[in-house]
Structure 1
Amino acid sequence: MSGAAPLPGADAVVDGTGLVCVVLLIRLRDRIAGLPAGTVVHVTTTDPAAPLDLPAWCHLTGHTYLGAAETGAGLVHAVRVSAAPRPTRPDRPWHLGR
């Protein structure tokens, strides 16, 4: 991802190394619950589907996907927490609902 703008600094971090995206999304959703709007979360991933799944999940839930950058630990994605996120099902973070 060379040439991309640097990611904003992280207020919180989610380590998704070695996780498949569904587990990663559940971990991310649980970590950001209750964080104030505007909080920037860095999500480290190794799942090859994450560059597609994270932006789509952010669009679904109302959070803002800020981009990604390569690091030695994997790909780091930045997400800005929404003031009014749309909730997802507890066991299915890609389905809206409570």
Structure 2
Amino acid sequence: MTGTEPPGLTVDGTGLRCVALLLQLRKAIAGLPPGTVVHVIATDPAAPLDLPAWCHLIGHSYLGPLPEPGPLAYALRIGGEARPVDASRPWHLAP
């Protein structure tokens, strides 16, 4: 299965910097079952680097950029063993 399968959720982070995007993404995916595919729309130029790194840190699978709706869309799959992050700093694991 790839990120091109229909998403269970699409998160629109248009105009958000990656920190705000990750906070919004974390809130949006809370409680989703493992295996759910999430499409993320992100205009921040750092998103292609930050999203895979965040997924690796948290325990989700980064599936890569999507051909549609355009070059600013990415896919990830919710992991079964997701690790909790600090509430105010989504790029740090919770203590």
Paired residues for 1:1-98 under 5 Å = 7-71=4-68, 75-97=72-94
Percent of aligned pairs with the same amino acid: 56
Summarize the Cα distance change of 1:70–1:48 in structure 2 as closer, same or farther, 3 Å threshold.
Answer: farther
Whichever structure has more strand as a proportion of its residues is 1
Shift of 1:48: 0.2
Shift in Å, 1:9: 1.6
Q: Is the 8 A contact 2:41 2:74 kept in 1?
A: yes
Structure 1 residues not aligned, in runs of 5+: none
Give the structure-2-normalised TM-score. 0.90
TM-score (norm 1): 0.88
Q: Which runs of 4+ in 1 moved over 6 A?
A: none
Instruction: Give the number of aligned pairs.
Output: 94
Please report the RMSD computed on the Cα atoms of aligned residues, expressed in angstroms: 1.7
